Amino acid sequence: MTEQAKSTQLSVKIPEGLEPVYSNLISIRHSDDEVTLTFLHKIPETNMAVGRAIVAITPQHAKRLLNALKVNIQRYESVYGEIKLPEAPVMPKEDNNVEVA
């Protein structure tokens, strides 16, 4: 590992008791200075969803997240095969709001 790589390593502390969150629906909203991801759990066979987490990030960080997801999906599919989507609804609600199921 190079000296530069060593200096850019990040030490991460996970708080005790931090629980994983399951989400099967994400609402994405944006303004000029932030992108907000609202993670929801849509309850099957109902029209109800429960909020699980809200994460606000800068547009620059959102683009980095998009790129990281693309790379990781490619890696996943190279090992496990193509992820098939029986249906991939993207439902625009307003000009700055998209929900992904």
Q: What would the pLDDT profile of 65-98 be if each residue is shown by its tens digit?
A: 999 999 999 999 999 999 998 875 656 565 556 6
* pLDDT in the model for residue 75: 98
Residue 54 lies in a domain: yes
pTM over 0.75: no
Residue 81 lies inside a defined structural domain of this protein: yes
Is the residue at 9 inside a domain? no
56-74 burial code (b ≥16 CB/10 A, e <16): eeeeeebeeeeeeeeeeee
| Residue 3 clears pLDDT 90, i.e. is over it | no
39 located within any domain: yes
E strands, the chain, in order: 25-30, 35-42, 49-57, 90-94, 97-100
Q: Does some domain include residue 50?
A: yes
Domain of 68, in residue numbers: 19-100
Phi and psi angles of residue 18, each rounded to the nearest 5 degrees, phi first: -65, 125
Structural domain count of the chain: 1
As a whole number, mean pLDDT of residues 22-33 equals 96
Structure token pair of residue 72: 């990781």
Residue 12 in domain: no
